[in-house]
Structure 1
């Protein structure tokens, strides 16, 4: 099934429904479909083999996604926050691409690609071009996304039409949205969450309201202005939104569902948000680029049950990513490949139609049974709830003992003086690595490092106590809220 069919289904369901709101632009499903046909004509006429977008998103993302699909070309949105050299290097890895670029990033692109069109030029051409509407083979690559490269060089993940549509049809009910339902989208276009948001909300029948450049006050205003009923945010966004709501007293009565993900969220922040917006259903979504987005969900009822529950095993689930979505199987394996039972920690493997596990120039990394190695350290509890402890690359090896940073972070974040924290390993001649806790204190607080070390020592055995505690005004993160541990470690070396 081609992703083009998702747009056709939306048009057949209600051609006059508002599909996209982005600044001053409003498109119905029919208008989006007509523009996509014209956009496909522009792409096909260019002779390009691939379509690249460098920009902040908004209406351009769903338009280019479906234009590319109807021209039977793969589509790649690229991180516009990279350097000019970084952007051009990624474009050069793609075959003869037509590059669409927002005006403010035009100089960053240079002459990379087969041809370059500014966004307004592409829109104008799409309105007058001869329409094209092909159906790509379901096994053809529909989207190529570059990984964030937080621990290594970016890899180009190939997602087929079948991967993407399997995720959508397996997790979203067609036309299930109520009339007037609206989704506020502020995740970046080059992230899998941006791609899946465009596909899933269109398929469900929600109006998509875009906020390309996140600002917490503007986000709150848009929720009120457009009567937004659902939204997805990353941890740094949630933190800022909660601060604005606490300061202003807003309670966002139209909001029904708020999903968060992209990286781990500290439980104190989750509890603050739950208490502040008690009428909202919170969703923690966990997924990877290679899995076409979400593979596990902690839903609203799970949040309500776990929040403040006296049963520790149930309360603990507030820190989980929930249970696998339909069509996804999970296994936890040890280093020898043995499948582990509940409560045992190892590497997470996943399997399902939405799982790609294929990279340009590398090929598939699925094993013979179709399992994908996520390189995330995880465990399952007796109820099948999945707990993510971090990346295998993040493991600290101190004196031959493997230490998961998340174990210490979960303890430190509960200290009242700690706003944010990341635990990393720093090179040491005696121990190989030492444990360093990098803490962003609560505003106006000057914590005692020894008190924080004792706080960890009381909860964990002595070998888990941080060797050093350092303080920072903020943690370096990417656009999806993932902490850039390499930058932290590099910064420690200059202290």
Structure 2
């Protein structure tokens, strides 16, 4: 099976139903499917090995995604925010590609790659022009629907491969066909090079929910578009939600009465922030979605009823679930393992392993699956007695103090409970005595005085224990995040190294 089937089914069921709103144009499902068929012919004629999108979100993204699928060529959305050197290296790795978007930059960075270059407008024009005579015949490929470069830290990014079977396994296992009402609309504002952007397109198309695309996130524009298009569903990362809430609390008005559901993910959600959101949107259903590129998006969900129950509960264990990512999907197997691979019981921290049809765990360079098909996520976490999954950061982020493993998340949760702390991060810092000790960086909430170092140390010692008390404390104006809301701990560690 090919992921183009999702778009073809939507076009067959409702050819005149609006499927996409972007840059002032409305595309029906019939028009999207026809353009994707035309794009497949354009891609085949270009004779390239990949389809690379180097652009913000636009109609070119879904048309290139499904056109590439029909042509049997991997779709490769590139991070246009990368530095020239890094982006040039990725362009060389997918050469020769059909590159769509910033053609001047692509030509400048990889002129000898043999790429076929299209501006966004030129690609859409070529796809629509070829649509009338396009056969729609599925070409044979190697089964790879998308190749997504993971964000590198100290090493070059890995090329994660998602096969048609992986992506279809996720969609068919989590979404009912044509389940959306004709007025339902999904606001998509995550970058097209992230798995959340790809899964939002596919799940919206299969449910036949109208996609309202915001090319680049800006909170006031998000609020305007959500109101004007009467958006019913949205996905945001925590930093986006924080900026939306700040603008609304500052007096920016928008009629969001149609907003039924907000899903969030992509980074750690501070408990204080989700509590503010629940209070601000009392009639909106909130869902926390946890997933990875290598798992074709979501593998665990904290659903709306979980949010409401936890928010209203006085039981600390139930209330704490607001800080979890919920339970694994029915189609996913999940285990917590120690360093020796032993499966751990509830309450014990270890590395998260997952298995399921949607789980790829495959890279261009190698496969990360073990002999039984389990994928080591490199995320640390634990399960509570009722099966709720709590994340404790990346496995590599664990602070090892004198042989004791310390989760940064437990320290950050305590710090974030202080009324003067807007954000916090805990990292490992070099220590002569312990090998590694705790360092914290905090952002002070506007209008509050800076807590003393002794006050912060006492707060952590009283709530946790002395081994968690930081040796180094820094106050910063803001913490470093990437565009998907992931905290860049390596930059914080480097700050302590340099100071």
TM bracket (short chain): over 0.9
Q: Deviations over 1:93-118 (max 9, x none)?
A: 12521111246855664524522221
Partner of 2:93, secondary structure, is: coil
Cα 1:64–1:264 change in 2 (3 A) is same
Residue 84 (structure 1) shift: 1.5
Partner of 1:98: 98
Partner of 1:115: 116
Structure 1 range deviating more: 294-303 or 390-399: 390-399
Partner of 1:480: 484
Partner of 1:223: 226
Residue 406 (structure 1) shift: 0.8
Partner Cα separation in structure 1 for residue 205 and residue 476 of structure 2: 41
Partner of 1:239: 242
- Checking the alignment, whether the CA contact within 8 Å between 1:54 and 1:100 is kept in structure 2 is yes
- Checking the alignment, whether the CA contact within 8 Å between 1:175 and 1:204 is kept in structure 2 is yes
Aligned counterparts, 1:372-383, within 5 A = 372-383=375-386
Partner of 2:352, secondary structure, is: strand
Partner of 1:15: 15
Partner Cα separation in structure 1 for residue 47 and residue 197 of structure 2: 27
Structure 1 range deviating more: 124-133 or 197-206: 124-133
Partner of 1:92, secondary structure, is: helix
Match of 1:187 among 184, 187, 190: 190
Match of 2:171 among 163, 168, 171: 168
Aligned-residue CA RMSD (Å): 1.6
Partner of 1:219, secondary structure, is: helix
Residue 299 (structure 1) shift: 0.5
Partner of 1:78: 78
Aligned counterparts, 1:194-205, within 5 A = 194-205=197-208
**Number of aligned positions between the proteins:** 494
Residue 250 (structure 1) shift: 4.5
Aligned counterparts, 1:49-60, within 5 A = 49-60=49-60
Partner of 2:314: 310
- Checking the alignment, whether the CA contact within 8 Å between 2:72 and 2:141 is kept in structure 1 is no
Partner Cα separation in structure 2 for residue 415 and residue 105 of structure 1: 46
Partner of 2:396: 393
For structure 2, list consecutive stretches of 5 or more residues without a partner in the other structure: none
1:43 equivalent to 2:43? Answer yes
Partner Cα separation in structure 2 for residue 148 and residue 428 of structure 1: 29
Partner of 1:451: 455
Residue 251 (structure 1) shift: 6.1
Cα 1:253–1:101 change in 2 (3 A) is same
Residue 70 (structure 1) shift: 1.2
Partner of 1:307, secondary structure, is: helix
- Checking the alignment, whether the CA contact within 8 Å between 1:36 and 1:66 is kept in structure 2 is yes
- Checking the alignment, whether the CA contact within 8 Å between 2:227 and 2:254 is kept in structure 1 is no
- Checking the alignment, whether the CA contact within 8 Å between 1:70 and 1:132 is kept in structure 2 is no
Partner Cα separation in structure 2 for residue 444 and residue 150 of structure 1: 35
Q: Deviations over 1:14-71 (max 9, x none)?
A: 0011111111221110111111111111110011111101111121211110110111
For structure 1, list consecutive stretches of 5 or more residues without a partner in the other structure: none
1:256 equivalent to 2:260? Answer yes
Partner of 2:2: 2
Structure 1 range deviating more: 295-304 or 146-155: 146-155
Cα 1:108–1:201 change in 2 (3 A) is farther
Partner of 2:470: 466
Aligned counterparts, 1:225-374, within 5 A = 225-248=228-251, 250=254, 252-362=256-366, 364-374=367-377
Partner of 2:322, secondary structure, is: helix
Q: Normalising by the residue count of structure 1, what TM-score does the alignment of the two structures yield?
A: 0.97
Q: Normalising by the residue count of structure 2, what TM-score does the alignment of the two structures yield?
A: 0.96
Partner Cα separation in structure 1 for residue 448 and residue 335 of structure 2: 43
- Checking the alignment, whether the CA contact within 8 Å between 1:106 and 1:118 is kept in structure 2 is no
- Checking the alignment, whether the CA contact within 8 Å between 2:227 and 2:255 is kept in structure 1 is no
Partner Cα separation in structure 1 for residue 207 and residue 114 of structure 2: 35
Residue 346 (structure 1) shift: 1.0
- Checking the alignment, whether the CA contact within 8 Å between 1:426 and 1:435 is kept in structure 2 is yes
